[in-house]
């Protein structure tokens, strides 16, 4: 299941430094605009403490975590929607992603230039949001011109649905609101909205890149961002990218944990970001556990048992019979599959079972 989060932001806010921490891909990081031209793609392991606990109980030959793709997209500038900087290329790269990680500079450093000459994360956010909204409004206006006559004079029901969706989007975007702020009730409207692939319809998370001293409690810049986005329902995550880069250079897990404890952190910002990005994409994890392998598998929230079986292999979905399901907590408490069975804690589920995060699954199929 290949889904991507795109890292966006103005030049020199710390996107590539953060990406390097996430992926160890060592994207070029330099103190000048447009350092990133082509998008860098990293396949990132999703931290999951449950795998380690299952491995202790099952003693498998291998442990395989799940992953998420992160894309480092070049810095946008004011006027990108009109092609300023490398705007058209960058906007196209954003369109190909499934969710947006918007990095905001929330630190002072005279040695790191700011493209607008001063640090103001709320202004920076508005610059990028405005460029994306302008591009979306262009898309909406163009589509309205194509379907309006067909919807008003013909009997095309689908065109009428599309026009209704487009008009709601036009109203929101004209008022400076993102497309994701518009809600649709019917399934036809929701499908028509998805088919537009609008930039501001994508879920977004704001990452406040702070100095080391602000890594735990944030600062006034972070407070201003939280206030500015409070009505969006968007998540705000605080981390110090440069400090995360230093942590990533340490050789052992023990050294990294000691560094985090000195800072007053229980978990690295990178680990928190990866988990949050996974959730932002509406992804969840089911597990398989045995002596050969303990493995995490990615599925979308709302998928049923046969669809999740298909994540492992298409034959599993095609020939699905039933699923044997163990809750993670029951497995950990009883310490083996045999003990779970003996306690009557294993459930047998059919085609309509909605898989839950952390379910330990065994699929029976016949093709």
What tens digit of pLDDT does each residue of 95-142 get? 889 999 999 999 998 888 777 778 999 999 998 888 889 989 999 999
**pLDDT over threshold 50, residue 256:** yes
pLDDT given at position 35: 37
Which among 287, 282, 307, 311 is positioned nearest to 5, based on CA atoms?
282
Task: Read off the pLDDT band of 291 (50, 70, 90).
Answer: very high
Whether residue 258 contacts residue 26, with contact meaning beta carbons closer than 8 Å, is answered with no
Q: Are 210 and 222 in contact (CB under 8 A)?
A: yes
Q: What is the mean pLDDT of residues 330-346?
A: 96
Q: How confident is the model at residue 352 (pLDDT cuts 50, 70, 90)?
A: very high
Query: What mean pLDDT comes out for the span 338-357?
Result: 97
Confidence of residue 90 (pLDDT cuts 50, 70, 90): low
**pLDDT at position 356 over 90:** yes
Q: Which of 91, 86, 100 is nearest to 135 (CA)?
A: 91
Q: How far apart are CA 7 and CA 274, in angstroms?
A: 12
Q: Can you tell me the mean pLDDT for 290-305?
A: 96
Per-residue model confidence (pLDDT) at position 30: 36
Give me the helices (H) in the chain, please. Answer: 15-23, 49-58, 87-95, 121-153, 157-174, 187-194, 220-228, 241-249, 253-263, 269-280, 305-312, 314-318, 328-334, 337-342
Average pLDDT, the chain: 87
Q: Which residue has the tokens 């408490």?
A: 333
Q: Is 62 exposed, middle or buried (0-12, 13-18, 19+ CB in 10 A)?
A: exposed
239-256 mean pLDDT: 87
Q: Is the pLDDT of residue 91 over 80?
A: no
pLDDT in tens, 20-34: 888 763 433 333 333
Give me the pLDDT at residue 316, please: 97
Q: Which of 85-89, 228-232, 316-320 has the highest mean pLDDT?
A: 316-320
Q: Which of 133, 141, 130 minimizes the C-alpha distance to 200? A: 133
Q: Percentage helix, strand, coil, to 5, in the chain?
A: 45, 20, 35
């Amino acid at each position: 299941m290949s889904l991507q989060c795109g890292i966006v932001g103005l030049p020199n806010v710390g996107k590539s430094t953060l990406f390097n921490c996430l992926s160890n891909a060592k994207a070029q990081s330099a103190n000048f605009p447009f350092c990133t031209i082509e998008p860098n793609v990293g396949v990132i392991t999703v931290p999951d403490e449950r795998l380690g606990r299952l491995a202790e109980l099952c003693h498998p030959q291998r442990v395989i975590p799940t992953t998420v793709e992160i894309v480092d997209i070049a810095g946008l500038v004011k006027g990108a929607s009109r092609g300023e900087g490398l705007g058209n290329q960058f906007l196209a790269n954003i369109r190909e992603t499934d969710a947006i990680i918007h990095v905001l500079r929330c630190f002072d450093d005279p040695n790191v230039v700011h493209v607008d000459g001063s640090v103001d994360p709320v202004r920076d956010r508005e610059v990028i949001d405005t460029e994306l909204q302008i591009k979306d409004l262009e898309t909406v206006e163009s589509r309205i011109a194509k379907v309006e006559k067909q919807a008003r004079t013909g009997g095309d029901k689908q065109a009428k649905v599309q026009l209704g969706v487009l008009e709601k989007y036009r109203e929101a975007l004209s008022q400076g609101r993102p497309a994701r702020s518009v809600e649709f009730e019917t399934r036809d409207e929701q499908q028509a909205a998805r088919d537009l692939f609008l930039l501001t319809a994508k879920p977004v998370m704001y990452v406040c890149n702070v100095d080391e001293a602000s890594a735990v409690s944030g600062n006034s810049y972070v407070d201003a961002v939280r206030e500015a986005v409070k009505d969006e329902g968007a998540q705000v995550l605080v981390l110090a990218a440069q400090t995360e880069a230093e942590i990533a250079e340490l050789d052992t897990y023990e050294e990294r944990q000691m560094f985090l404890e000195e800072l007053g952190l229980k978990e690295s910002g990178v680990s928190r970001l990866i988990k949050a990005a996974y959730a932002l994409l509406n992804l969840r994890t089911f597990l398989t556990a045995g002596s050969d392998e303990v493995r995490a598998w990615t599925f979308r929230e709302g998928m049923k048992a046969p669809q999740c079986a298909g994540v492992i292999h298409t034959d599993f979905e095609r020939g699905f019979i039933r699923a044997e399901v163990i809750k993670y907590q029951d497995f950990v408490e009883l310490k083996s599959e045999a003990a779970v069975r003996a306690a009557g804690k294993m459930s047998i589920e059919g085609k309509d079972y909605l898989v839950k995060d952390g379910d330990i699954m065994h699929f029976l199929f016949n093709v």
